[in-house]
């Protein structure tokens, strides 16, 4: 069984630091407490480990009724940079107005 500790969390959020606030909200922790977990100043509790697992498995904040294709797409978005996500969102929004995406 994989240990859910600060290293596990760091690996899961690598490359997408913006997920940290959402994760803290999912765990119902102040952002300062999340910092303590990530710095190893305190251990992950059993309840937090379960919540962390569900969050990253898509059973937490992604628990709404998603199709398998939607879940796959969401999983792929976790591999994108923030800039790539913004570009894709702009592209999708621009489809309706015929303008196309605006490059940064």
In percent, the amount of the chain with pLDDT more than 90 equals: 7
The two structure tokens encoding residue 86: 């913004």
| Whole-number pLDDT of residue 59 | 46
Measured CA to CA, the distance from residue 53 to residue 70 in angstroms comes to: 20
Beta strands in the chain (DSSP E): none
Expressed in angstroms, the distance from the first to the final Cα of the chain is 43
**pTM as predicted:** 0.52
In percent, the amount of the chain with pLDDT more than 70 equals: 77
pLDDT in tens, 49-91: 888 988 888 644 444 456 777 767 766 766 777 788 789 889 9
Q: CB neighbours of 48 closer than 8 A, spacing ≥ 6?
A: 27, 29, 37
């Amino acid at each position: 069984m994989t240990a859910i500790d600060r290293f596990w969390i760091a690996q899961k959020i690598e490359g997408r630091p913006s997920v940290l606030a959402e994760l803290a909200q999912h765990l119902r922790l102040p952002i300062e407490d999340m910092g303590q977990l990530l710095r190893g100043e305190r251990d992950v509790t059993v309840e937090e480990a379960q919540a962390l697992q569900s969050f990253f498995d898509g059973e937490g904040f992604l628990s709404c009724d998603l199709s398998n294709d939607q879940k796959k797409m969401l999983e792929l978005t976790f591999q994108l940079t923030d800039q790539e996500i913004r570009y894709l969102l702009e592209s999708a929004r621009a489809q309706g107005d015929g303008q196309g995406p605006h490059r940064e």
